[in-house]
Amino acid sequence: MTNPQSSAWSPLRNRIFFVLWMATLFSNIGTWMNDVGAGWLMTNLSPDPVMIATIQAMTTLPVFLLALPAGAIADIFDKRKLLIFVNIMMFFAAALLAVLVYFNVVSIGWLLLITFILGSGAAFLGPAWQAIVPGIVAPHELKAGIALNSMGINISRAIGPALAGVLISQVGLYLPFMLNALSFIAIIVAVWWWKGDKHKENTLPAESVVAAMISGLRYARYSPALIKTIIRAAAFFVFASAYWAMLPLVARVSLQGDATLYGILTTSIGIGAVAGAFSLSALRARFSTGMLVTAGTAGTVIVLVIFAVTTSKYPAIAGSIIAGFSWLITLSTLMVSAQTALPDWVRARGLALYLTVFSGSMALGSLIWGQIASHTSITIALLAAAAGIIVVWLCVLKVKIDHDNINLSPSEHLTMPEELPFYSEEDKKPVMVCIQYKVDAEHQAQFFALMEQLKRIRLRDGGYSRGLFSVPGTQDEFMETFMVSSPTEHHRQHKRATVDDRRIDSQLNAIIRSKTVVHYLSYSADTEKQK
């Protein structure tokens, strides 16, 4: 019997995961049909490379603009209701585009607007979808679940473009858009059937959207693992976006092809991605996260060069397969890296930030390579992207993202003090926390090292103005102070503690002689009245 811990397919035994995975597969097929149709429609409306690249940008730019507030909303509110509402909105937008194309009244403005609306929907869906995976699958199946999500996206990439190419050439340009609209129904039905996550009862009031966004950004700032992942993602996607943005022009201009050839190239990318998904489990067992990203980057360089110089469809098809394989390996590896760098309470916001960087890099890259191609040529734009990705890869080579050993599960080892038993969201008075330590001289070097780690944790989970002081007249007494915005936020801070945080606390407690904690509530005239 296969060990479920090592099985790449074990999440599919989970009925909920399987149903949602199948629904997203059908929906993503529709999305890829829509993308191929939109790209080809734009070549009919305007063959300008800038406009072709703008279609790519309109897909990704909304994610860049909206992913962070979307992630905050996904962490605060019911993910199930959010998914249903957004998919209904996307259904109507896609249906409108299908009608406009069917009656041949679509314009560049309408195409860009509806593409932007669909991209906005994707901005809200992305963080929510990714955030629910850890709640559906077992912890040891998380990587397999993320890989299967990537595989589903790329199976749809293999089917959707090919189907779109056939439908456009044999039936009409309107049909891919209509089928995309209908595909959203599969998602709506599946999510309606799913009863949602079983959350622990939360006695704390929900954060506001703005406060949740701030806490998400604060967490990212003080999370080295997430920052490193984001840096490596930006370094890759800005340049990898070149072949996505230029692919319609490579098919039509460089290869003198039609919609069918474009569909074949995008299908070949999907085939390569599926092959990458099947290989991913074995590759992870043999190679580190950093090595996989490096391999994906090298493959992308090869692809960019092939697309730049080829005038034959067969090398282009081979390059497309390599592109899909490299894309899947890199994208899935970076997504796993981002997931493992985030605890549950901030997962959607952290993933939203990652998706913001991903989409912003894709949108920025698409516009850059479109402009270069417009003023020079497709070949120069693709070669410039290949040269750029090599230079940037060399610059970020020392940014390591191998952090699979961290444990961000809730520890619940911290308890609130008796002097702060009551709280309300309206109580905005800041809290000052003072902790006095007594540490023998032989342990002080280790103490200071641990306090540096603790500083990052305090600031990451909600503290500010943190400081460490020596007590005058003593050699072994030190005072740590930090502020928290309210008693409620201090309660949240305690609930955010992780297993890794508990390990640091245990190491600290092992070397100190004593620890005294005192809390001070900000004084005001209202404080006196409340007494």
Task: Tell me the residue length of the chain.
Answer: 531
Residue 205 lies in a domain: no
Average pLDDT, stretch 285-304?
A: 92
pLDDT at 410: 83
Beta bridge partners of 431: 484, 521
Q: Which of 192-201, 383-392, 522-531 has the lowest mean pLDDT?
A: 522-531
Residue 162 · residue 76 · CB < 8 Å: no
Do 187 and 260 have their domain in common?
Answer: yes
Do 170 and 74 have their domain in common?
Answer: yes
Kindly report, residue by residue over 14-31, the tens digit of the pLDDT: 898 899 989 888 888 998
Residue 403 lies in a domain: no
Alpha carbons 461 and 483: distance in angstroms, whole number: 12
Kindly report, residue by residue over 143-183, the tens digit of the pLDDT: 778 777 777 776 776 677 778 878 887 888 899 999 999 99
Residue 58 · residue 367 · CB < 8 Å: no
Assigned token pair, 519: 């809390």
| Confidence bin at 61 (pLDDT 50/70/90) | confident
Q: Is 400 left (phi over 0), alpha (psi -120 to 50) or beta?
A: beta
Residue 47 lies in a domain: yes
Please choose, from the candidates 358, 123, 75, 354, the residue with its C-alpha nearest in 3D space to the C-alpha of residue 223: 354
* Burial class of residue 49 in the structure, from the number of CB atoms within 10 Å of its CB (0-12 exposed, 13-18 middle, 19+ buried): buried
Please choose, from the candidates 56, 16, 327, the residue with its C-alpha nearest in 3D space to the C-alpha of residue 192: 16
| Confidence bin at 529 (pLDDT 50/70/90) | very low
Alpha carbons 517 and 437: distance in angstroms, whole number: 9
Kindly report, residue by residue over 70-80, the tens digit of the pLDDT: 888 888 878 88
Residue 481 lies in a domain: yes
Average pLDDT, stretch 251-276?
A: 84
Please give the model's pTM, rounded to 2 decimal places. Answer: 0.78
pLDDT at 309: 93
- The domain of 496 spans 431-530
Kindly report, residue by residue over 415-452, the tens digit of the pLDDT: 766 656 555 555 678 899 999 999 999 999 999 999 99
| Confidence bin at 102 (pLDDT 50/70/90) | very high
| Confidence bin at 403 (pLDDT 50/70/90) | confident
Assigned token pair, 334: 């970076």
Domain boundary among 395, 417, 450: 395
| Confidence bin at 468 (pLDDT 50/70/90) | very high
Please choose, from the candidates 207, 320, 310, 338, the residue with its C-alpha nearest in 3D space to the C-alpha of residue 264: 320
pLDDT at 172: 86
Q: Which of 48-52, 72-76, 237-241, 368-372 has the lowest mean pLDDT?
A: 48-52
Average pLDDT, stretch 261-270?
A: 82
Assigned token pair, 295: 């391999």
Average pLDDT, stretch 57-80?
A: 81
* Burial class of residue 425 in the structure, from the number of CB atoms within 10 Å of its CB (0-12 exposed, 13-18 middle, 19+ buried): middle
pLDDT at 197: 63
375 pLDDT above the threshold of 80: yes
Do 254 and 167 have their domain in common?
Answer: yes
CATH number assigned to the domain comprising residue 440 = 3.30.70.100
Helices 224-249 and 313-340 sit at what angle, rounded to 10 degrees?
160
Do 116 and 243 have their domain in common?
Answer: yes
Q: Give the full edge-to-edge strand order of the sheet including 431-439.
A: 463-470, 477-484, 431-439, 512-521
DSSP result, 217-260:
HHHHHT-HHHHHHHHHHHHHHHHHHHHHHHHHHIIIIIS---HH
Residue 218 lies in a domain: no
pLDDT at 424: 53
Beta bridge partners of 410: 498
Residue 481 · residue 520 · CB < 8 Å: no
Do 120 and 191 have their domain in common?
Answer: yes
Based on the structure, what is the number of domains in the chain? 2
Query: Which amino acid, 226?
Result: L
129 pLDDT above the threshold of 70: yes
368 pLDDT above the threshold of 80: yes
Helix, strand, or coil (residue 465): strand
Alpha carbons 531 and 527: distance in angstroms, whole number: 7
Do 188 and 288 have their domain in common?
Answer: yes
Percent of the chain whose predicted confidence (pLDDT) is above 90:
39
CA distances from 360 to 35, 214, 304, 388, 444 (A): 18, 19, 20, 17, 45
pLDDT at 3: 46
Percent of the chain whose predicted confidence (pLDDT) is above 70:
92
pLDDT at 353: 87
pLDDT at 421: 54
Backbone angles phi, psi at 494, to 5 degrees: -65, -40
Domain boundary among 374, 395, 416: 395
| Confidence bin at 202 (pLDDT 50/70/90) | low
pLDDT at 486: 87
Helices (H), 403-530: 444-460, 487-495, 499-511, 525-530
DSSP result, 297-312:
HHHHHHHHHHHHH--S
Domain boundary among 368, 395, 422: 395
Do 435 and 386 have their domain in common?
Answer: no
Q: Which of 9-23, 105-119, 127-141 has the lowest mean pLDDT?
A: 127-141
Residue 287 lies in a domain: yes
The C-alpha torsion from 314 through 320 and 322 to 325, rounded to 10°, is -150
Do 292 and 353 have their domain in common?
Answer: yes
Residue 213 · residue 72 · CB < 8 Å: yes
Beta bridge partners of 514: 438
Do 274 and 380 have their domain in common?
Answer: yes
Residue 503 lies in a domain: yes
Do 97 and 231 have their domain in common?
Answer: yes
Beta bridge partners of 436: 479, 516
Do 387 and 453 have their domain in common?
Answer: no
Mean residue pLDDT of the chain comes to 85
Do 170 and 59 have their domain in common?
Answer: yes
pLDDT at 59: 78
